[in-house]
Every structure is written in C-alpha cells, then in structure tokens.
Homo-oligomer: A and B are copies of this chain.
Amino acid sequence: MSETSPGGPSAGAGTPKPPMRDALVAAAFRLFLERGYEQTTVDDIVALAGVGRRSFFRYFPSKEDVVFPDHERCLAEMTEFLKSGPPQDDPVARVCDAARLVLRMYAENPTFSVQRYRLTKRVPGLRAYELSVVWRYERALADHLRTRLTDRRDGTLHADVIAAAVVAAHNNALRSWLRADGEGDADAFVDRALDYVRRTFGAAAGPAARTEEGEDVVVLVARRGVPMWRVVKEIESVWAD
C-alpha cells in the first residue's frame, strides 16, 4: 500500500502515534482520491484499514475529522507554546512564531498536504470545516494577545486585528506553497509573509516599542513616506507615560 498511500500525516512528527490511527488516515485518503470524498463511507474506510467502526470513531468524531487529523494536536501545541513564552517577549513576534507551528505541520508532509488542499477545494463541507479550524487558531492567537495588551487602550481590538493579520499572512504563504505543489521552501514563504505583519504592527505592538526597562530614550524608526500625522500619533502613544 505504500506506493499509493499519501504517506500519512505523521511522518516526521515528533511524537509517536498509534499505527491504527495512521492506517485509518492512509486508508481514508486512498479512497477519497480513488472514488471521491462523498462516495467514500466510514464503512469503506474501516474495511480497507481492516478495523472495526468503533476503532474509527475512537480516533475521529466524524468522516471530516479524518481529513484533518493533526489540527487538534497542533492547536494544543500552539496553546502550550503561547503560554510558555517569557512575559517580556514581543507579543507580535510570539504569535507569529506560534503561526509557524501550523505551517510546520503542513510542511512535515508536503504530498499529504497538497492532496488535502485539492480535496478541500472541491468539497464545500471540508472547506467549512477548515474555516472553523482556522477560526480556532485565530482565537488562540487573539486570546494570547488580549492578555498581553490589557493595559493598552483598545487592547482587545488590537489583539483581534493583529491575530487576524497573522492568520491571513500565514494562510497566504501556505496557499502559495500548496499551489506550488509543496515544492518550494515553505519557511521562506511564511517568513516573508509574517515579516510584513511584524513590520506593520511591530512598532505599535507594545512594551518592546518602548525602551528597555523604561529608560528615558525613545527610538522611532519610520519610513519617509508615512504621513506626518501618523508619526506624531505614534510618538504620542509612547510619550504618554
């Protein structure tokens, strides 16, 4: 089966996973590709994997879930990563690095990721599933930013907007890489995209924009094209306290 298998989603993953789970994913994708997603039932999948229905539902709540077998793990990793950062970390840099965990999950297995991308584009139900997963990542980033920006006026607004920008940048990079059949350097795509977000929000993002340990020096770096009023506003925001 290895020649037609998409390789399974866990190749390269750090933690070992039950072989049965991998076998179910591999069987499911083989059938999805051969007959189409809608034409494949859970019964077909378990028959090919050689296990019972109950085994399937032990690992996956529904047929949709077998298409995205690693998001729960990745969401848990992201939450852990966000919690574990030192408090003086630049919050925008932190959420950008958290988004890289998602890209890494895709990049671990390019063939599988590209196949799933094509499948998801064709099946509206999977697209809806994916949107709800993306929304959960975005909430995780926004929740983290909210805790870090509480002392800022409009902190929750800024948190929501920055989280959405990070997710959009990540997804733009991920799509570019998937459309290139997963052949380019995924990290290069996402570095470039997240760099734009960091440049845009970095200075406005919080304590890091001020000075180390509150010394009485303010350093402002601005592009010449930026209108004067915006520069003044930016200075005012750090001058205040």
Number of copies: 2
CB of B196 within 8 A of CB of A157, answer yes
**B-contact 0/1 string along A216-227, CB 8 Å cutoff:** 111111111111
Knowing A131-B128, A218-B221 are in contact, say whether A164-B154 is a contact too (CB < 8 A).
Answer: no
Interface residues of A in 157-206 (CB under 8 A from B): 157-158, 160-161, 163-165, 167-169, 171-173, 192-193, 196-197, 199-204
* A39 shortest CB reach to chain B, Å: 22
Contact residue among B127, B219, B223 (Cβ-Cβ distance under 8 Å from A221) = B219
By size class, the interface of chain A is 35 or more
Q: Is the interface of A mostly helix, strand, loop or mixed?
A: helix
CB of B219 within 8 A of CB of A228, answer no
**B-contact 0/1 string along A89-114, CB 8 Å cutoff:** 00000000000000000000000000
Give chain B residues whose Cβ lies under 8 Å from the Cβ of A81.
none
Give the distance in Å from the alpha carbon of A200 to the alpha carbon of B154 in the complex: 14
Give the distance in Å from the alpha carbon of A154 to the alpha carbon of B108 in the complex: 25
Contact residue among B160, B208, B219, B224 (Cβ-Cβ distance under 8 Å from A217) = B224
Question: Told that A131-B131, A218-B221 touch, could you supply 6 new A-B pairs with CB distance under 8 A?
Answer: A160-B171, A161-B196, A164-B167, A203-B226, A204-B226, A219-B220
Rank and list the top 9 A-B pairs by shortest CB-CB distance, nearest first: A164-B168, A216-B224, A211-B223, A164-B164, A220-B220, A203-B226, A160-B172, A131-B131, A160-B168
User: Can you list 24 A-B pairs, Cβ within 8 angstroms, ordered by A?
Assistant: A127-B132, A131-B135, A154-B196, A157-B192, A160-B172, A161-B193, A163-B168, A165-B168, A209-B223, A210-B225, A211-B223, A217-B221, A217-B222, A217-B224, A218-B220, A218-B222, A219-B221, A220-B220, A220-B221, A220-B222, A224-B238, A228-B236, A228-B239, A232-B232
A contact residues vs B (CB 8 Å cutoff): 127-128, 131-132, 135, 154, 156-158, 160-161, 163-165, 167-169, 171-173, 192-193, 196-197, 199-204, 208-211, 216-228, 230-233, 235-236, 238-239
